[in-house]
Amino acid sequence: MLKTIAVLATMCFLATVAFAQDRRFDFSANEGALFTSQVSGNGVVQTATEGAAPFGTIRVRFNPKHSFVFNYGRDKNSQIYRSIEDFHILANITEYSGAYVFTPFKRGRFEPFLLAGVGALRFSPRTTWVFLPPLEPPQGNNTPDNIEINLHAAKQTQIAFLYGFGVDYQLPKYHRFALRFQYRGFLYKAPDFKIDANSGSDVSFFTGARSHMAEPSAGLVFRF
């Protein structure tokens, strides 16, 4: 979390110093939620838990309708793989992305927009565990319902297509500030953390499927 705050602060500072006189730029700090679709393939069903999704953006306006945005975010959730067992990998997800933004019109304080672009999602595993069905009747309350194992999960970066839409609402009396409500979607190849037979593992997380991650969010925008 501290690393995320430091990166966002650095982005804002550098952009302010370099472009403060143009007033064609804005910085936003956003808080969203992650919802990942279920995919399957090769006998593996993959889902993910819901997670928080803070991210920051710097937006460059070329004219009132056309602009470009750079995004950085750091999220966390559990990737779940179900075959015979029920495997969970707690992972950090780091986003680096850029997108073209089209603003078709402005009505009063409202400024809707559409966006499309590409980026990279970096999946960094933290903890791996597996839920196993009980092999014997439980003895008292000392029988654990999960066993932590080491599957040597590796970091993995997936290229993602980014799309979305939203609206900025300019705050009254504070012309440099606005509220931003948006929806972003990511299409990418489902991660397997390089766990398969080729890595010497007895299990495989490879589905070969394309996954979708939805991210509704709200944020505060500062224009300069």
pLDDT tens digits, 45-54: 999 999 999 9
Give the tokens for residue 18.
Answer: 């370099």
Q: What is the H or E stretch that residue 16 is in?
A: helix 2-19
Quote the pLDDT of residue 64: 92
Contacts of 141-147 with CB under 8 Å at 24 or more apart are none
Quote the pLDDT of residue 59: 97
Residue with more model confidence, 165 or 140: 165
Cβ–Cβ < 8 Å for 32, 215? yes
Q: Report which of 213, 193, 184 is spatially closest to residue 90, judged by C-alpha positions.
A: 193
Quote the pLDDT of residue 9: 53
Q: What are phi and psi of 10, to 5 degrees?
A: -65, -45
pLDDT at 133 over 60: no
Quote the pLDDT of residue 214: 97
- Ranges of each domain in the chain: 2-16+24-133+145-223
Give the tokens for residue 39.
Answer: 């995919």
Q: How many CA atoms lie within 13 A of 69 on its CB side?
A: 27
Please provide the average confidence, as pLDDT, over all residues in the chain.
84
Q: What does the pLDDT average to over 51-62? A: 95
Q: What does the pLDDT average to over 23-35? A: 93
pLDDT at 205 over 70: yes
pLDDT at 86 over 50: yes
Quote the pLDDT of residue 147: 46
Residue with more model confidence, 196 or 115: 115
Across the strands, what pairs with 99?
A: 69, 117
Say how far apart CA 205 and CA 187 lie, in whole Å.
18
Q: How confident is the model at residue 22 (pLDDT cuts 50, 70, 90)?
A: low
What does the pLDDT look like over 151-196, one tens digit per residue? 678 899 999 999 999 999 999 988 899 999 999 999 999 999 988 7
Q: Kindly report the CATH number that applies to the domain delimited by 2-16+24-133+145-223.
A: 2.40.160.20
pLDDT at 139 over 60: no
